[in-house]
Amino acid sequence: MEKEMSPPLHIRIFIALVMAVIAGLLIREPAVVRFYDFVGSLFLNALKMLIIPLIVSSIISGIMGLPTTASIKGLSIRTVAYYFITTLSATVVGLMAVNLVKPGIVNGVPAQEILGLHADGAALQNDLSSRGISDMVEIFHRMVPPNIVEAAAQNQLLGVIFFALLFGGSAIGLPQHHRQRLFSLVEAVFQTMMRMTGLVLHFAPIGVFGLVAKVVAETGLAAFMPLLTFFFTVLGALALHIFLVLPFLLLLNGINPVNHFRNMFPALLTAFSTASSSATLPVTMDCLRKRAGVSNQVSSFVVPMGATLNMDGTALYECVAVMFIAQACSVDLSWTQQFFLVLVALLTSIGVAGVPSASLVAIVIILNALGLPDEAVGPILAVDRLLDMCRTSVNIFSDSCCAAIVDRSRGIELTRYE
């Protein structure tokens, strides 16, 4: 009862944000700033604690949930190919936008100080540029870690994700009774991790308060200028993807994008207001079946799978956020390094759960992998909710396009398209 009375999380985060700005401006004594820092880093630690079990269980249960009958196997391949193409194009759109706008640079100066980030840009740059192409090859090498426990302990996510993909893929071939048992176990672990994520996010207002108050205490209100540019860069890139790239794919497959938007409108609104692909799932299925006329067979496996595996908006967001922090820390990522970023964003977006703010976890992973300061998640959190609502709508819309395209490719008439 008490829970229902309290305002929703994003409102509480917003209130915390306003309080953090006020506190940061008024109380700047070193001891208090240390307290802000303590609270903020506690929240960051809690987020990091979730990473491995959340990602592993999400991937394995996603893969094991795939249907195995021969006719659907063909569909699965087409679906996964679609996921890959759209997520890849989303990351490219994001990269183009962030390279063009450069939100991390304010009046020609990297925004590191304004954002209160503590990183030695020159040392980072040196470290990164001393990594040649062989180090990029090394990244692929690390995808197959000799010791999976060690890889997990060192947060080498690529290896862990690759292992989870292989594990899930191999488990599909198990005899029915074993597969069923393993699937229920992994699914239960995944659901538990989602609850834990919810619990941690419950404390997000306190975390945001600590992280933002610290930045404001150290740098004043200037931090909001680059954040605003970052906000509009993400928004513009998401708009480009949902209004140009995805409709183009629909057109290529003979589907009228305007009608498709109209059919999916309730799902888009739900995604926007909940910021959760998983919570929107029933509405997406309903719109696809009843309004877009997509067959049950296609929608019932494309959409649940897409809700965790296919996240165009999330991958785009990860790329822009990481580039933003890199720019702010005067770290110039070469094209090869940006290619690496795309690859990691692609892979981590697969592991991101369909719940609000889930991509923060992935952003922490990538920042750590590149040696960039992960405290940067703090300022980003300040503008995260609105962007989350938008990227979740993009995630959902991409899933629905995939279902319509795959359905059409099976020669099924989409009856509702006049």
Q: How far is the CB of 208 from ligand ASP (least distance, A)?
A: 15
Q: How far is the CB of 400 from ligand ASP (least distance, A)?
A: 13
C-alpha to C-alpha distance for 132 and 135, rounded to whole angstroms: 5
Residues near 45 by beta carbon (within 8 Å), at least 6 away in sequence: none
299 or 395: CB nearest ligand ASP: 395
Enumerate residues 251-310 that contact ligand ASP by CB under 6 A: 275-277
The residue from 47, 285, 355, 381 that contacts ligand ASP (CB under 6 A) is: 355
Would you give the binding string for ligand ASP spanning residues 366-405, x where CB under 6 A is met? ----------------------x--xx--x----------
229 or 270: CB nearest ligand ASP: 270
Of 345, 40, 307, 355, nearest to 197 by C-alpha is 355
Q: What is the 3-state secondary structure (H, E, C) of the chain?
A: CHHHHCCCHHHHHHHHHHHHHHHHHHCCCHHHHHHHHHHHHHHHHHHHHHHHHHHHHHHHHHHHCCCCCHHHHHHHHHHHHHHHHHHHHHHHHHHHHHHHHCCCEECCEECHHHHCCCCCHHHHHHHHHCCCHHHHHHHHHHCCCCCHHHHHHCCCHHHHHHHHHHHHHHHHCCCHHHHHHHHHHHHHHHHHHHHHHHHHHHCHHHHHHHHHHHHHHHHHHHHHHHHHHHHHHHHHHHHHHHHHHHHHHHHHCCCCHHHHHHHHHHHHHHHHHHCCHHHHHHHHHHHHHHHCCCCHHHHHHHHHHHHHHCCHHHHHHHHHHHHHHHHHCCCCCCHHHHHHHHHHHHHHHHHCCCCCCCHHHHHHHHHHHHCCCHHHHHHHHHHHHHHHHHHHHHHHHHHHHHHHHHHHHCCCCCCCCC
The residue from 21, 213, 311, 342 that contacts ligand ASP (CB under 6 A) is: 311
Q: How many CB atoms lie within 10 A of CB 155?
A: 15
**In the block, which residue shows the tokens 């923060």?**
360
Could you tell me how many residues of this chain bind ligand ASP (CB under 6 A)?
16
Q: How far is the CB of 63 from ligand ASP (least distance, A)?
A: 18
C-alpha to C-alpha distance for 16 and 213, rounded to whole angstroms: 9
Q: Applying CB under 6 A, does 79 fall inside the site for ligand ASP? A: no
- Do residues 312 and 82 touch, judged by C-beta distance below 8 A? no
156 or 359: CB nearest ligand ASP: 359
The residue from 233, 330, 337, 357 that contacts ligand ASP (CB under 6 A) is: 357
Q: How far is the CB of 335 from ligand ASP (least distance, A)?
A: 25
Of 239, 76, 350, 300, nearest to 284 by C-alpha is 300
Binding region for ligand ASP (CB under 6 A) out of 97-105, 256-264, 334-342, 354-362:
354-362
227 or 352: CB nearest ligand ASP: 352
114 or 365: CB nearest ligand ASP: 365
Q: How far is the CB of 332 from ligand ASP (least distance, A)?
A: 26
106 or 352: CB nearest ligand ASP: 352
94 or 354: CB nearest ligand ASP: 354
Q: Applying CB under 6 A, does 354 fall inside the site for ligand ASP? A: yes
154 or 273: CB nearest ligand ASP: 273
Q: Applying CB under 6 A, does 359 fall inside the site for ligand ASP? A: yes
Q: How far is the CB of 281 from ligand ASP (least distance, A)?
A: 10
Q: How far is the CB of 256 from ligand ASP (least distance, A)?
A: 25
Q: How far is the CB of 311 from ligand ASP (least distance, A)?
A: 6
330 or 357: CB nearest ligand ASP: 357
Q: How far is the CB of 363 from ligand ASP (least distance, A)?
A: 9
Q: How many angstroms separate the Cα of 364 from the Cα of each of 75, 81, 377, 396?
A: 34, 27, 7, 23
Enumerate residues 333-352 that contact ligand ASP by CB under 6 A: 352
The residue from 63, 215, 358, 401 that contacts ligand ASP (CB under 6 A) is: 358
Q: How far is the CB of 21 from ligand ASP (least distance, A)?
A: 24
Q: How far is the CB of 275 from ligand ASP (least distance, A)?
A: 5
213 or 305: CB nearest ligand ASP: 305
111 or 211: CB nearest ligand ASP: 211
- Which stretches of the chain bind ligand ASP, using CB under 6 A? 275-277, 311, 314, 352, 354-359, 388, 391-392, 395
